[in-house]
């Protein structure tokens, strides 16, 4: 492990050499919007990565705010897995992707704040790396900007900064934002508002600067749980829109091409209940994305209702569970209690079949003395993140070969002949809903805000092209995507 860390640090130092930092060809930033008052710069390569980091510059003062500071590991998407699954992080860290450090270094002393919408890794994971690398570069004194995020995200970030490899990095001041409470950061006035997503403490922001009003809409969906007031979030957005003309709407569009609106978590909860009932007195192995505390909470509650023991298997999810318990988001249970009973529901890491994860090792029958067998049920409560197909399929096939029943969502397609004995043990059912809004919801958002122009973020080029087509169809203006495809001058 130490050997690996030294390699990571060496990579970091290489990156910081003046040659790299001053080499314009290395820069990945692109100006995607510019008028006489503001400039918006995408600090990540657009089109190949789905990590997020964007700068809004007030050209009247040269002051800057940074929106998100994410990174991306191979074969992971909108997940906090890398924050929690140390094994995976160590295996893959050498390929960590960073926003454009040269741009950040050149503008560092004008940055009035890093604003982080939520704690998914592609929105915040690069933060310690960015602050660490900036200080290694020898270009005069640096004044560290402060970070702004929800209390939940702050706990995550503090944990992230405490990692062994970041021990020499000074953590910036992290401020907790609150619903509707405006922050003054240089010439920027920023008002956060909470949005439903698959992790608690997700916020979006109204940005006022240089006489313009922008909305930075982070990952969201309209419907989280089945609320009594189904339109609560919609009403909140309408109130925001009523009070101001929105010049620019920056928004995610990851679910473009998926019709309708993203469903409620309640639909998943109903199915999970049925599965647990059908497997009474049997072992159930449950996996979902680490950060989905809403779903983990529900499974714990269902287990408590049914008298089933809820057991943590492996260590990769321990941190998220500890944070969830500390913040009273999930019920208390003893993380070390491993009752010897067939009536256990195990929470297992590795919903994407990541190599080295507990689920992958169970599927490969390599989890020490712990073996999956006939009568066991496995619930994969997560869709496949593109790029992970082979890992997931291999794991599922392994689990089926060992005799388990596997419940999973329909987007994981495994072709088994009907006379294959494994066929009847592979059950496609609604055990997952997305944390991102689908096409009708994206349209609804646009029609509430009626912005003068739309800027897509968080996606690959095909998302942007598809989204641009739709936005024009809905009668709104989107920035030219050629800005994404050409380098800034
Ligand atoms: Zn997210």
Measured in Å, residue 123 CA sits from the centre of ligand 1 at 7
Measured in Å, residue 319 CA sits from the centre of ligand 1 at 18
Tell me how far CA of residue 486 lies from CA of 101, 396, 411, in angstroms.
19, 42, 34
Give the list of residues 6+ apart from residue 253 with CB closer than 8 angstroms, or none: 442, 456, 458, 459, 463, 464, 466, 467
Measured in Å, residue 475 CA sits from the centre of ligand 1 at 28
pLDDT in tens, 66-116: 999 987 654 443 333 333 344 333 434 445 677 888 899 999 999 999 999
In the prediction, which pLDDT does 389 show? Answer: 82
Measured in Å, residue 203 CA sits from the centre of ligand 1 at 10
Residue for token digits 């933060």? 127
Element (H, E) at 207: strand 203-209
Give the list of residues 6+ apart from residue 189 with CB closer than 8 angstroms, or none: 182, 183, 207, 208, 209
pLDDT in tens, 128-147: 888 988 887 766 677 899 99
Phi, psi (deg, nearest 5) at residue 201: 70, 35
Measured in Å, residue 341 CA sits from the centre of ligand 1 at 36
Measured in Å, residue 337 CA sits from the centre of ligand 1 at 31
Token digits of residue 167: 């021990």
What is the mean predicted confidence (pLDDT) over 265-279?
A: 93
Measured in Å, residue 220 CA sits from the centre of ligand 1 at 8
Question: Is pLDDT at 314 greater than 60 in this prediction?
Answer: yes
Measured in Å, residue 149 CA sits from the centre of ligand 1 at 14
Higher pLDDT residue, 23 or 54?
Answer: 54
Measured in Å, residue 32 CA sits from the centre of ligand 1 at 22
Give strand pairing partners of 55: 41, 66
pLDDT in tens, 394-433: 999 999 999 999 999 987 778 888 899 999 999 999 999 9
Measured in Å, residue 373 CA sits from the centre of ligand 1 at 35
Q: Which of 360, 247, 290, 277 is CA-nearest to residue 120?
A: 290
pTM of the model: 0.85
Measured in Å, residue 431 CA sits from the centre of ligand 1 at 19
Tell me how far CA of residue 223 lies from CA of 29, 38, 196, 291, in angstroms.
34, 33, 7, 18
Q: How many CB atoms lie within 10 A of CB 361?
A: 19
Measured in Å, residue 358 CA sits from the centre of ligand 1 at 23
pLDDT in tens, 29-41: 889 999 999 999 9
In the prediction, which pLDDT does 212 show? Answer: 97
Token digits of residue 475: 């009668």
Measured in Å, residue 17 CA sits from the centre of ligand 1 at 33
Token digits of residue 372: 């999956």
List CB-based neighbours of ion ligand 1 within 5 Å: 78, 120, 219
Strand, helix or coil at 438? strand
Measured in Å, residue 222 CA sits from the centre of ligand 1 at 14
Measured in Å, residue 78 CA sits from the centre of ligand 1 at 5
Measured in Å, residue 276 CA sits from the centre of ligand 1 at 28
Domains of the chain: 2-260+435-485 (3.60.15.10), 265-428 (3.40.50.10710)
Sort 333 into a burial class: Cβ within 10 Å, 0-12 / 13-18 / 19+: middle
Tell me how far CA of residue 135 lies from CA of 41, 105, 309, in angstroms.
22, 9, 48
Question: Is pLDDT at 316 greater than 80 in this prediction?
Answer: no
Tell me the pLDDT of the chain averaged across its residues.
84
Measured in Å, residue 197 CA sits from the centre of ligand 1 at 7
Measured in Å, residue 366 CA sits from the centre of ligand 1 at 32
């Amino acid at each position: 492990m130490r050997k690996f860390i030294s390699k990571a640090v060496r990579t970091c130092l290489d990156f910081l050499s003046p040659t790299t930092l001053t080499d314009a060809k290395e820069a990945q930033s692109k100006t995607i919007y510019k008028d006489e008052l503001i400039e918006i710069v995408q600090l990540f390569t657009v089109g190949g990565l789905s990590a997020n980091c964007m700068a809004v510059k007030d050209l009247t003062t040269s002051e800057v705010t940074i929106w998100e500071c994410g990174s991306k590991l191979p074969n992971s998407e909108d997940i906090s897995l890398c924050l929690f699954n140390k094994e995976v992080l160590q295996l893959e860290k050498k390929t960590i992707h960073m926003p454009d450090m040269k741009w950040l270094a050149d503008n560092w002393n004008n940055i009035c704040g890093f604003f982080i919408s939520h704690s998914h890794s592609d929105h915040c994971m690069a933060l310690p790396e960015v602050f660490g690398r900036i200080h290694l570069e020898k270009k005069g004194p640096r004044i560290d900007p402060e970070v702004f995020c929800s209390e939940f995200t702050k706990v995550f970030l503090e944990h992230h900064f405490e990692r062994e490899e970041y021990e020499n990095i000074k953590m910036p001041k992290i401020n907790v934002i609150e619903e509707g409470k405006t922050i003054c950061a240089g010439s920027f006035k920023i008002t956060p508002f909470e949005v439903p997503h698959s992790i608690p403490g997700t916020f979006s922001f109204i940005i006022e600067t240089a006489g313009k009003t922008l909305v930075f809409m982070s990952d969201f969906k309209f419907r989280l749980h089945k609320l009594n007031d189904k339109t609560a979030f919609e009403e909140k957005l309408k109130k925001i829109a009523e009070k101001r003309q929105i010049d620019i709407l920056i928004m995610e569009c990851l679910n473009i091409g998926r019709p309708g609106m993203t469903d409620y978590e309640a639909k998943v909860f109903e199915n999970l209940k049925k599965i647990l009932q059908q497997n009474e007195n049997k072992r159930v192995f449950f996996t979902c994305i680490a950060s989905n505390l809403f779903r983990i909470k529900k499974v714990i509650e269902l287990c408590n209702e049914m008298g089933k023991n809820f057991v943590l298997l492996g260590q990769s999810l321990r941190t998220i569970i500890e944070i969830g318990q500390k913040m009273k988001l999930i019920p208390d249970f003893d993380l070390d209690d491993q009752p010897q009973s067939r009536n256990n529901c195990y929470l297992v890491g590795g919903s994407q079949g990541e190599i080295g994860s507990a689920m992958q090792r169970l599927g490969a029958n390599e989890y020490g003395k712990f073996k999956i067998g006939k009568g066991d049920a496995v619930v994969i409560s997560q869709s496949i993140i593109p790029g992970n197909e082979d890992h997931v399929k291999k794991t599922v096939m392994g689990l089926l070969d060992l005799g388990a029943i596997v419940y999973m969502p329909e987007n994981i397609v495994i072709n088994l002949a009907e006379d294959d004995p494994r066929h009847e043990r592979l059950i496609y059912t609604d055990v997952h809903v997305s944390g991102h809004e689908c096409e009708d919801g994206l349209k609804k958002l646009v029609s509430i805000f009626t912005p003068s122009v739309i800027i897509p973020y968080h996606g690959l080029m095909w998302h942007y092209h598809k989204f641009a087509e739709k936005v024009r169809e809905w009668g709104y203006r989107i920035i030219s995507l050629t800005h994404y495809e050409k380098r800034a001058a």
